[in-house]
A and B are shown apart, each in its own frame.
Chain A
Amino acid sequence: QQQVKQSPQSLIVQKGGISIINCAYENTAFDYFPWYQQFPGKGPALLIAIRPDVSEKKEGRFTISFNKSAKQFSLHIMDSQPGDSATYFCAATYSGGSNYKLTFGKGTLLTVNP
């Protein structure tokens, strides 16, 4: 069974702090790792994604760190803001497959206190 294990399940951070969410995968064929942000009652929005040829990708306050040998990747949110309070899902897929299915983590509920 292909799995992506995500932790923590919930996270509380003070405004201005760093939020860190971790994911681990099992299938070494995975080669695309997106993160999605979901607000209550809304669909997930693509936040940032990385491929295994780089160890880090940064977009604004969001950074993905990728460790291929450990089969782990993480999302870092710098200077966390109350508006970042949402559920974050990591995912993984194999781009060489025929149907691009995403395997999702179970999600992390992030609360940023003002």
Chain B
Amino acid sequence: GAVVSQHPSRVICKSGTSVKIECRSLDFQATTMFWYRQFPKQSLMLMATSNEGSKATYEQGVEKDKFLINHASLTLSTLTVTSAHPEDSSFYICSGARVPDTQYFGPGTRLTVL
């Protein structure tokens, strides 16, 4: 149990376009979902926390107008990278919290912006 999926697994886009990444909890309801960014050989950097039906809380330094997060249901959260640029290229990972402190991670989405 506690499976989280992400779609797409890889995406390549042109600079200036927007990209949407979906995160789904498949077998549990995630009242809270998290979005992380990970650079090569580094730890996970929390971008934002989202609760179902409410606005996401962004970490300091993360542009909320650039990284739009929607948590429409207890099993779905989306991250939209707007007007993507090469510096946005990264590995994006979501997680869902099932019990008060356990996070289960998705497989990640590799974004490459040309």
- Residues of A at the B interface (CB closer than 8 Å) are 31-32, 34, 36, 41-46, 49, 89, 93-95, 99-102, 104-107, 109
Contacts and interface: CB of A to CB of B under 8 A. Distances in A.
A104 B44 contact: yes
Interface residues on B, range: 20 to 34
Contacts of A49: 102
A46 B102 contact: yes
21 contacts: A32-B101, A34-B102, A34-B103, A42-B107, A43-B4, A43-B6, A43-B93, A43-B106, A43-B108, A44-B44, A46-B2, A49-B102, A94-B101, A95-B100, A99-B32, A100-B32, A100-B97, A101-B34, A101-B46, A102-B34, A107-B42
- Which secondary structure dominates chain B's binding surface? strand
A107 B32 contact: no
Contacts of B42: 106-107
Contacts of B67: none
A31 B43 CA distance: 21
A101 B44 contact: no
B9 to A, nearest CB: 9
Contacts of A44: 44, 93, 105
Interface string B4-45: 101000000000000000000000000010100000011110
A93 B108 contact: no
Contacts of A109: 41
Contact of A100 (B4, B93, B100, B105): B100
Given A41-B108, A99-B51, A101-B34, 8 more contacts: A34-B102, A34-B103, A42-B107, A45-B105, A46-B105, A99-B49, A104-B43, A107-B43
B104 interface: yes
